Amino acid sequence: MADSTLDNVGRLADFDHVIVVTDVGVRTAGHLYRIGRLLEEGGVRSDVLVLMQSAAATVAGVQEIHDRLARNSLGQFGIVALGGGSVVDTCKVAALATRYPWLLDPVSMRAQRGLVSMVNARRGEVPVFAVPTRFGSAAEVAPRAAIAPDPLSVRRLIVGDALVPDDVMIDLGLCGGLILEQWMDGLFEMIFRVIGPFMVTQTSTRETDVQALTMLEEVLSLGERLVVDGRTPTIDEQASLVELSTQTATGPHTEGWNPVMPSWWCIQNTLMTYAGWTKGELLRRALPILFERIEDGATWLGSPERLALLGQGANCVKARVVQMCKSYRAGAKAKAPPSLDYGACARETMKLWGGHPDIHRAGEEGVGGLIYDVVTA
């Protein structure tokens, strides 16, 4: 369970040493001093590993953490993952690699398809304490981690309950320097984490649909206020976003849903590497296009019948999502389309995710066409 502050850092006192893993951005923001002081006051010895941007969420970053652990082989150790989703994911996989060392091999990781299942894996030998500095990815509570074989490769999605951090410590003071774009990136990730599975599931109940729509209403209402006002969230709104991020990742709204992985997630995962854009930026461009295509019968992207449920009632979720995408983009600095090889991006998506039934149905031409439309939107 997440705590509202870091004041309870004493829970780490059972460990002889903790390794605080972070990145350059978090160090520059001064957050290392904050958590270092709290650890010292709690009587916890620690050292710091700062990952370069190119190493976060890669096998090289996982290896760096593993090497640091190996140099401190005596006593009880823990990992404190201080950062955004990339840092937390790197720490999660590093802990798992203490039991499954093949995760340290970039060649082995490169040989994997897009989805790496470790659903039967045992937990790693080193506990992970997540201290997130950004919210939206829900990496701090999710049973998954996205890791690339190397900085230029597409991330693979590793899934399994053994990846869930042992504990989460929340301090909203670590989010004070975030700009509106960063909050909105997280907010759009939350939206798609509900809408994506909602549109593709073939099994659902009225109860789970209502839970999902209620959650979307809360996220949208908060996002609309931020876009209209052009401001970052207040401290109370930040607390709400943190709670909503957790709910969209762990809530009961997807119970019994099948399937739950939309084809756009597979495409987006590849496109992030090729375009160099965040998930939030891609989703702001993609969601209106996905809705239009599904309405026109592109069932490989989602069910028209499920999408229609998002358009019912006075608070039409679909229309509100589209409007929020357009309103935010209208007020933000325009991003020029990157120069990329659309065909290569489509082929890489097929290579990694061709086993996904809907990606297989779309084929390279369908995937490539969607990529072009989203990037040039």
65-79, 255-269, 331-345: range with highest mean pLDDT: 255-269
Whether residues 209 and 353 fall in one domain = yes
Whether residues 263 and 353 fall in one domain = yes
Output the pTM of the full model: 0.93
Residue 319 Cα to chain centre, angstroms: 24
Burial 304-341 (b: 16+ CB within 10 A, else e): eebbebbeeeeeebbebbbebbeebbeeeeeeeeeebe
pLDDT score recorded for residue 75: 65
Residue 352 domain-assigned (yes or no) = yes
Q: Are 143 and 115 in contact (CB under 8 A)?
A: no
In the predicted model, is pLDDT for residue 12 greater than 90? no
* CATH code for position 209: 1.20.1090.10
pLDDT score recorded for residue 2: 42
Cα–Cα separations (whole angstroms), residue 363 to 199, 265, 331, 341, 354: 20, 15, 35, 17, 8
Judged by average pLDDT, the poorest of 9-18, 95-104, 258-267, 273-282 is 9-18
In the predicted model, is pLDDT for residue 165 greater than 50? yes
Pick left, alpha or beta for residue 347 (phi over 0 → left; psi -120 to 50 → alpha; otherwise beta): alpha
pLDDT score recorded for residue 112: 96
Pick left, alpha or beta for residue 233 (phi over 0 → left; psi -120 to 50 → alpha; otherwise beta): beta
Residue 27 domain-assigned (yes or no) = yes
Domain boundary residue, one of 154, 175, 196 = 175
Residue 1 domain-assigned (yes or no) = no
Residue 256 Cα to chain centre, angstroms: 22
Whether residues 102 and 188 fall in one domain = no
Whether residues 67 and 13 fall in one domain = yes
What is the tally of structural domains in the chain?
2
Residue 374 CB-half CA count within 13 A: 32
- Average pLDDT of every residue of the chain: 92
Domain boundary residue, one of 151, 175, 199 = 175
Q: Are 79 and 51 in contact (CB under 8 A)?
A: no
Whether residues 168 and 27 fall in one domain = yes
Counted residue by residue, the chain has a size of 377
Residue 72 domain-assigned (yes or no) = yes
Nearest-CA neighbor of 310 among 186, 210, 185?
Answer: 210
Residue 4 domain-assigned (yes or no) = no
What percentage of the chain reaches a pLDDT higher than 70?
Answer: 96
- Spatial distance between the Cα atoms of 235 and 242, rounded to a whole number of angstroms: 11
- Spatial distance between the Cα atoms of 23 and 18, rounded to a whole number of angstroms: 16
Judged by average pLDDT, the poorest of 24-28, 39-43, 186-190, 290-294 is 39-43
pLDDT score recorded for residue 84: 94
75-84, 163-172, 341-350: range with highest mean pLDDT: 341-350
Domain boundary residue, one of 152, 175, 198 = 175
Q: What is the mean pLDDT of residues 30-34?
A: 86
Residue 2 domain-assigned (yes or no) = no
Residue 54 domain-assigned (yes or no) = yes
If DSSP codes are grouped into helix, strand and coil, which group holds residue 46?
A: strand
Whether residues 230 and 319 fall in one domain = yes
Whether residues 125 and 271 fall in one domain = no
In the predicted model, is pLDDT for residue 1 greater than 50? no
Range of the domain at 248: 180-375
Whether residues 145 and 238 fall in one domain = no
Residue 342 domain-assigned (yes or no) = yes
Cα–Cα separations (whole angstroms), residue 60 to 63, 67, 105: 5, 10, 9
* CATH code for position 132: 3.40.50.1970
pLDDT tens-digit profile of 92-138? 999 999 999 999 999 999 999 999 999 999 999 999 999 999 988 99
Q: Please give the residue that has the higher pLDDT: either 81 or 41.
A: 81
In the predicted model, is pLDDT for residue 176 greater than 80? no
* DSSP string for 194-207: HHHHHHH-S---HH
Q: Are 10 and 42 in contact (CB under 8 A)?
A: yes
pLDDT score recorded for residue 331: 87
pLDDT score recorded for residue 15: 76
Nearest-CA neighbor of 352 among 237, 274, 252?
Answer: 274
pLDDT score recorded for residue 62: 97
Whether residues 40 and 62 fall in one domain = yes
Whether residues 158 and 131 fall in one domain = yes
Residues 293, 357, 267, 205, CA torsion sign: positive
What percentage of the chain reaches a pLDDT higher than 90?
Answer: 78
pLDDT score recorded for residue 10: 57
pLDDT tens-digit profile of 212-265? 999 999 999 999 999 999 999 999 999 999 999 999 999 888 989 999 999 999
Whether residues 146 and 239 fall in one domain = no
Whether residues 155 and 185 fall in one domain = no
pLDDT score recorded for residue 4: 44
Q: What is the mean pLDDT of residues 367-376?
A: 96
